[in-house]
Structure 1
């Protein structure tokens, strides 16, 4: 993706209960693109990225949430915080800038149905 040289980290969350996730770094992200365009780009990249285990490639990701902004406080949760969904989940129709994404933002990419189940009963399995 051509762009302003912004770096964004996307954490692919495969399982909240097992804390199974894989971070991917995207360079040159254009913050003026829409949330939908960025999600499509990430989905395509996940399918074709070398070295990514097959279970991560075939998972049904559909939602992105901001985990951390540069120079901000981090959560104690290992995967991501369960709070502030209405402000941190990226809404369709907005640009990445309008959704709150900036340089060095870290986001989670996950299945909204899995997140809903985990949020209703947040427990981990080891």
Structure 2
């Protein structure tokens, strides 16, 4: 089992407007903590060329597994609203221990926005 992997992180700006951008990270240590990976993503996103400023300046705070390799994908366009207990990553946990493996897709979003959307899941176009 490799201790490194390729992870796709979906930067979610708005659940209601289905506004997100995927960013791919290669050679990610799966033995780092969620907190360390969050710090890395925030720094990278703020400096990444080609990302629109609203994505660079957004206050992301939570990671959730969207899809694991060889697993079923959700029908939701942004991410599933189910199984938060198993799929939302806890800061003190190592990525691998939280179920993150090579080719896992994650959503990175603001928890406050997610809770509001989950309570009233309507979308706007």
Q: TM-score, normalised by structure 1?
A: 0.96
Alpha-carbon distance in structure 2 between the residues aligned to 1:75 and 1:5:
25
Superposition RMSD on alpha carbons, in Å? 1.0
Matching of residue 63 in structure 1 with residue 43 in structure 2: no
Structure 2 length normalisation: TM-score? 0.97
Consecutive unaligned residues of structure 1, counting only runs of 5 or more, are none
Secondary structure at 1:95 match in 2: coil
Q: Distance in 1 between matches of 2:120 and 2:100?
A: 29
For 1:99, what is the secondary structure of its paired residue? coil
Divergent runs of 4+, >3 A: none
TM-superposed deviation, 1:48: 0.4
* CA deviation string 1:69-121 (max 9, x = no partner): 01110000000000000000000111000011000000000000000000000
The offset of 1:4, in angstroms, is 4.5
Say if 1:4 and 1:28, in contact at 8 Å, map to a contact too: no
Aligned length: 124
